[in-house]
Amino acid sequence: MPELPEVEITARRLDAALRGATIESTLAPGLNALKTFDPPLHALDGTQIAGVRRIGKHLVVDVSGDLHVLIHLMSAGRLQLYDKRASLRDRTSRLLIRVDGDRELRLREFGTKQAAWVKVLRDGDLEADEAIATLGPEAWPDPPEDLAALLHAPRPLHTLLRDQRVIAGIGRSWVDEILWRAKLSPFKRGDDLSDEEAGALRAAIVETLAAALAHYEDVVQLPIPDKLPLPLLVHRHQGEPCPRCGTTLEAVFYEDYVMSYCPAEQTGGKVLKDRRLSRLLK
Ligand SMILES: [Zn+2]
């Protein structure tokens, strides 16, 4: 699940390797991945890569001629740079960008779903694109000082923090780590945050994401591994002792994800209802 730290390290590594490189040719074996047709994908052929950057959980490859390749990895995509060209039999390939030096920038996607997408956009159309225009402020490095105002809504923090229109970059993995670090219940409502709690939450967002990135700076190299080594302490660690207080971590299971937390420090000792179990008992 690439979230802000995973996308940021990908952008940093690719930017360092690809800035100034020439795109020789492009190919989209994953027909469904490319969501735009004008300008065509081949408009990229012969252009130079000006840089690779991150916006929210998206990657942007800027090229000469004022074109931008906007990529969303969704839950199982990776953008990887290889020294060799892919076998066309690689069923994970969604987009291949061949660059000088025989290298290949490859959007690959694992699993059965084809959800990762790519758009080729002109200047101006990038900022106006629905995926970008609707994003809230970046969660890192400098989220809004007044987090209480940003999150002032009658919705649980666990939902609010993952809503990209509210704040951009956080998903199912890092939200658990952030709320644990801030010692806040995932079900606490955004409009029920004291100034002190909002301050702790803001600090937790910055510290958690910065620590993940620092870890990736040490361990993540090109081509960008298929499986990123997420340094998670709480998410999916239910049943294990809380790394801070030793209480057994609990979890609520949803259809396609899990929310993990420390009952002693986050929910006043209460073990929250397991949605999966309660559905079975109905
Ligand atoms: Zn604890």
pLDDT of residue 282: 43
260/258 Cα distance (integer angstroms): 6
184 and 201 Cβ atoms separated by less than 8 Å: yes
Q: Which residue has the tokens 């870890």?
A: 215
Query: Residues near 73 by Cβ (< 8 Å), separated by ≥ 6?
Result: 2, 7, 57, 59, 79, 107, 109, 116
Terminal-to-terminal C-alpha distance of the chain: 31
Residue 64: how many CB atoms within 10 A of its CB?
A: 14
Residue 90 Cα to ligand 1 midpoint, Å, equals: 44
Distance 243 CA to ligand 1 centre (A): 7
Cα 238 to middle of ligand 1, angstroms = 11
Q: Within 10 Å of residue 75's Cβ, how many Cβ atoms?
A: 16
169 CA from centroid of ligand 1 (Å): 25
The confidence score (pLDDT) of residue 52 equals 98
Compute the distance from residue 83 Cα to the ligand 1 centre, in Å.
Answer: 45
Instruction: Evaluate if pTM is beyond 0.85.
Output: yes
pLDDT tens digits, residue range 230-261? 999 999 999 999 999 999 999 999 888 899 99
Q: What is the per-residue pLDDT across 117-154, written as a single tens digit (0 to 9) for each?
A: 999 999 999 999 999 999 999 999 999 999 999 999 99
**Amino acid (one-letter) located at 274:** D
| Dist. CA 260 → ligand 1 center (Å) | 11
CA of 101 to the centre of ligand 1 (A): 51
> What is residue 277's predicted lDDT score, i.e. its pLDDT?
57
